[in-house]
């Protein structure tokens, strides 16, 4: 990593011109965001090396699919299920070699390479071991409980804490840690269940709580409702009908919200209320009865919860593949009939 040809996010901000071509190693959020940025400029040929079968592997397949299709439509080449065997600077550019899943190999030359495979906290040689601060089993994060480490007067916040690595999360943790240092009464612990996240992609992706994939992995029985942007009046008016809302609730009469995914225009503005409901641990009736601004994207959220309550004016028999409502129990999907 010379920050001239093989770059990290430190060096990529200092380039003085659009590279003719770039390969991005890593298909997580940051890698896909930089691929979106450079492909949108239209001056750089972009490649992504993805070790998994699909980009954004921690998210549901419908999200990965819609983002991948837009990237490919913008000319991005995604090396799926590929292993990086070699990368080196040659003749003022970068040459990399891939081993593909079918045992074939590729050698490709580009002008720049961006490594986007994560970072580790800079905690070496600061005396943590002398203070007795315990590290996690992964060896890169400080094991803590509500910002406090195993040593009562030492706190850990931000990326080093081993929780959600976001700027807004680090800011909340920092405030909480300072309050705990000087607390005169017990504080409510930080909740990581309702953290709102934005992925600056095309289309925009926003998330809060758990997704379908996590429900299946943890065997959590849930109900899921999904509505396409193409049936939302504001999206139609803006000619921005690519995307969807998906809400996950408990599979019982209370139907408390566990998570939401929004993909499309204004996605990041649509999840805050759902994040609040998750924190309040209440059901979905309040959203169904709230008078939403019209026309607005968030009206789609209201129709989602109305579908779960069987009160929606949207009929699946009319909109067919634009609406879906189903349960997930033991990993088995069962459609829920809606009138």
In the block, residue with structure tokens 């899943």: 101
Task: Say what the pLDDT of residue 136 is.
Answer: 77
What predicted TM-score, i.e. pTM, was given to this entire model? 0.89
> How many angstroms separate the CA atoms of 256 and 277, rounded?
8
pLDDT digits (tens, 9 = 90+) for 34-49: 999 999 999 999 999 9
Query: pLDDT tens, 239-296?
Result: 999 999 999 999 999 999 999 999 999 999 899 889 999 988 888 988 888 888 899 9
Least confident segment among 230-244, 258-272, 303-317? 303-317
CA distances from 268 to 113, 241, 261, 265, 327 (A): 30, 16, 10, 8, 26
CB atoms within 10 A of CB 46: 25
Out of 9-13, 104-108, 133-137, 281-285, the most confident range is 104-108
Of all residues in the chain, the percent with pLDDT exceeding 70 is: 97
The mean pLDDT value of the chain amounts to: 91
Residue 93 has pLDDT above 80, yes or no: yes
The domains of the chain, with CATH numbers, are: 6-115 (3.50.50.60), 128-181 (no CATH), 197-335 (3.30.390.30)
Which runs of consecutive H residues, i.e. helices, occur in the chain? 9-12, 29-41, 61-73, 128-131, 167-181, 212-217, 233-238, 272-280, 285-289, 299-308, 316-319
What mean pLDDT comes out for the span 44-59?
Answer: 95
What H or E segment, with its residue span, contains residue 95?
strand 93-99
For 23, 136, 201, 332, 338, the CA distances from 260, given in Å and listed in that order, are: 32, 29, 17, 20, 21
Which residues share a beta bridge with 255?
none
SS3 assignment, position 211: coil
Please write the tens of the pLDDT for every residue from 1-30.
899 999 998 999 899 999 999 999 999 999
- pLDDT number for residue 339: 42
Q: Is the pLDDT of residue 99 over 80?
A: yes
Give the model's pLDDT for residue 164. Answer: 86
Contact (Cβ atoms closer than 8 angstroms) between residue 134 and residue 142:
yes
Q: How many CB atoms lie within 10 A of CB 217?
A: 11
pLDDT level of residue 228 (50, 70, 90 thresholds): very high
**Which residue out of 79, 163, 176, 294 is catalytically annotated?**
294
pLDDT at 139: 59
Q: Which of 66-80, 126-140, 204-218, 290-304 has the lowest mean pLDDT?
A: 126-140
Q: Which two tokens stand for residue 199?
A: 């992925």
pLDDT at 57: 94
294 is catalytic: yes
pLDDT score at 20: 97
Q: Return the closest-CA partner of residue 123 out of 86, 158, 170.
A: 158
Half-sphere exposure of 319 (CA within 13 A, CB side): 19
Residue 208 vs residues 60, 121, 171: alpha-carbon distances, Å:
13, 25, 18
The residue whose two tokens read 């986007």 is 116
């Amino acid at each position: 990593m010379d920050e001239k040809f093989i770059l990290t996010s430190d060096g990529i901000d200092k380039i003085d011109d659009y590279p003719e071509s770039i390969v991005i190693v890593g298909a997580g959020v940051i890698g896909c965001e930089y691929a979106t940025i450079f492909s949108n400029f239209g001056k750089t040929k972009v490649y992504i090396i993805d070790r998994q079968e699909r980009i954004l592997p921690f998210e549901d397949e419908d999200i990965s699919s819609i983002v991948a299709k837009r990237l490919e439509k913008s000319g991005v080449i995604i090396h799926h299920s590929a292993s990086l065997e070699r990368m080196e600077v040659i003749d003022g550019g970068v040459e990399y070699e891939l081993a593909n899943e079918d045992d074939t190999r590729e050698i490709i030359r580009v002008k720049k390479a961006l490594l986007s495979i994560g970072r580790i906290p800079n905690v070496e040689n600061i005396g943590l071991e002398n203070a007795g601060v315990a590290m996690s089993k992964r060896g890169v994060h400080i094991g803590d409980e509500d910002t406090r480490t195993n040593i009562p007067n030492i706190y850990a916040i931000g990326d080093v804490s081993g929780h959600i690595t976001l700027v807004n999360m680090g800011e909340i943790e920092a405030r909480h840690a300072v309050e705990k240092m000087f607390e005169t009464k017990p504080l409510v612990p930080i909740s990581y269940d309702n953290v709102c996240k934005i992925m600056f992609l095309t289309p925009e992706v926003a998330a809060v709580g758990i997704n379908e994939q996590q429900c299946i992995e943890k065997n959590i029985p849930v109900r899921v409702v999904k509505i396409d942007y193409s049936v939302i009046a504001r999206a139609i008016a803006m000619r921005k009908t690519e995307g969807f809302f998906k809400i996950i609730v408990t599979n019982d009469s209370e139907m408390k919200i566990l998570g939401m995914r929004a993909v499309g225009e204004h996605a990041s503005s649509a999840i805050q209320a759902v994040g609040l409901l998750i924190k309040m641990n209440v059901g979905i009736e309040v959203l169904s009865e709230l008078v939403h601004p019209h026309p607005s994207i968030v009206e789609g959220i209201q129709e989602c919860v109305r579908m779960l309550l069987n009160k929606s004016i949207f009929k699946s028999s009319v909109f067919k593949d634009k609406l879906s409502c189903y349960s997930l129990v033991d990993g088995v999907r069962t459609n829920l009939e809606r009138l």
